Structure 1
Amino acid sequence: METIIMALTIDPRSAHAPQVQTILTKYGCIITTRLGLHEANKNSCSEKGLIILHIHSNIDEVKEFENELLDVEGVKVKYMTL
């Protein structure tokens, strides 16, 4: 098992977040930590979202996960193995 930190951006967030959430749920058992960030204030909410994941899995499953995320329009993914 590898320990991996993955970051993904979603833009526009409001249009593609539901599809990304479905994929995150599918791979939920390998995600040990999830942090979602976007700029928000009283008057507006950013359309660009950032999600940081701590993943514990083998590299083949991580690549499968990455490919499913990349199939979603507006999503970019980067990860590193520790």
Structure 2
Amino acid sequence: MACYNVMSVLTNNRVENVNEMQQVLTESGCIIKTRLGIHDAGKDFCSNEGLIVLHLIGSDYEISSLEKKLNEIPGIIAKNSQLCSD
């Protein structure tokens, strides 16, 4: 049975918390297999809200620790989901 850990990270203030969030993600870089960032952007507009989707590998402790650290940053909501095949 294969299991996948997918964490969604929503930030409602990208400009103010980007440095702290990036530091936490860098510290956990060895358990981040894939990272996808999504935000509204255009020629005259760049949203201050964003969504990051992480495909994680590593122990349950490492993943829950990352989730906890991200949730301690004001304006960030992080939730991990584990999806397993039968």
TM-score w.r.t. the length of structure 2 is 0.89
**Aligned counterpart, 1:23:** 24
| Conserved? CA contact 1:33–1:54, under 8 Å | yes
Instruction: Return the offset for 1:67.
Output: 0.7
**CA distance, structure 2, for counterparts of residue 58 and residue 81 of structure 1:** 12
1:10 aligns with 2:11: yes
RMSD: 1.0
Q: For structure 2, list consecutive stretches of 5 or more residues without a partner in the other structure.
A: none
Deviations 1:18-66 (A, max 9, x none): 1100000000000000000100001110010100000001111111111
- Quote the residue 2:59 is aligned against: 58
Highest CA radius of gyration, 1 or 2?
Answer: 2
- After TM superposition, the score normalised by the length of structure 1 is 0.93
Write out the 4+ residue segments of structure 1 that deviate beyond 3 Å after TM superposition: none
| Alignment: residue pair count | 81
C-alpha distance in 2, partners of 1:78/1:70? Answer: 9
